[in-house]
Copies of this chain bind each other. A is one copy, B any other.
């Protein structure tokens, strides 16, 4: 029997905006950041649970405060009880009768719950000696549906229907695990496509992406139509006709504008249009999907919870569902979303990048392949080559694929030294940075 004896939160920020890495039509200057959480127990095994919320800079302190507000749910609690009933633990956090007013189930507080839930899954996986994807894939259909809160879902998917999906794919789990270990899971790369890059850099990075084995690249669009047309021509020329090219508008457009803009890009054989408008606009996405067909609509990285995903599926508003490891309330809610996607027969291609999103979300796709949808050849995980060096078990991406992590845990643990160095504003990096700014000011 063990107890949670410490919960440590850290406001970790990386100065990515200085290199124009990650710039798009709505997020011109992101400083990739993590509101980070470490759960410590008094167990002799010394294992800890790590989780985070990804943000892009300012406001990471607010997110850290939200995680801190949840520590009373952890401190002093029996660890075995928390981990044995992760469905109950999830509900306890999500349905707190006072905290839910701050959402409910959306925004800062919901993401904070996600960090806590993911930290507990990290700990549970480490205790099981398994990577998270494999831990989930060893759970029975009954245990898996017990993770899901079916409240607000039953008009689209009941518990029984979810059980049927899981039972149908139970037989092939072993074979698919072997396939996954042998073939990896397809990835695609956004690295060439950021708005801040020159055409030369775009061409070079697109060539590199193809050489690295990726079958799809993605370009940011939506700031300027002429630029988009030129960049897509450049990209298509660089990769040839056999590599897929997706585009991402990062919520830039209204409905009519999205349809009109995409009509000018269609000639470049677009794999999908991602985030054409507000992530809250289910009916808008549905109208856009009808208007740009046969180009598929993709969205999800900012979709707040399972209730909105449910409606997106009901309304045929998306044809590619992009889960995110750190937007909804953690693994449990993503299991619900994977089940919904399977119910509606929609493929899942996770959002990743940022800080640690690749490390975390790969587990969900691999679990989905082994135990839920049973499919991987029509789907892929986003890959961006940023900041992996700060993670204890960084992703292994080569030959255009994610290779299954074998180390125990959920992938979200950062090196303590990285956390310390980039903690804002008191970490070594930010102190030196502030001193340098002060010096420059004196010189002026």
Q: Which residues of A contact B (CB under 8 A)?
A: 26-31, 55-59, 61-63, 65-66, 69, 96-111, 151-155, 251, 254-257, 277-284, 287, 302, 304-305, 307-308, 310-311, 314-315
Contact = CB atoms under 8 A, between A and B. Distances in A.
A7 to B, nearest CB: 15
Contacts of A315: 283
Given A110-B107, A152-B284, A154-B254, A98 B59 contact: yes
Contacts of A103: 107
A106 B304 contact: yes
Nearest to A24: B97
12 contacts: A27-B100, A58-B96, A58-B98, A58-B99, A59-B102, A66-B108, A103-B107, A104-B251, A107-B109, A154-B257, A155-B254, A282-B311
* Best-surrounded residue of A56, A58, A110 (most CB of chain B within 10 A): A58
Contacts of A111: 102
Q: Which 5 A-B pairs have the closest CB atoms?
A: A107-B107, A108-B108, A57-B98, A58-B98, A155-B255
Nearest to A65: B65
A299 to B, nearest CB: 13
User: Secondary structure at chain A's binding surface: helix, strand, loop or mixed?
Assistant: loop
Given A108-B66, A109-B108, A154-B255, A31 B311 contact: no
Contacts of A104: 251, 278-279, 302
Contacts of A257: 154
A31 B99 CA distance: 11
B255 A62 contact: no
A97 B28 contact: yes
Contacts of A256: 154-155
A23 to B, nearest CB: 10
A195 B271 CA distance: 53
Contacts of A102: 55, 59, 62-63, 107-108, 111
A58 to B, nearest CB: 4
Contacts of A108: 62, 66, 102, 107-109
Contacts of A28: 97
Contacts of A279: 104
Contacts of A62: 62, 65-66, 69, 102, 108-109
Contact of A27 (B69, B97, B154): B97
B26 A100 contact: yes
B109 A55 contact: no
A155 B287 CA distance: 10
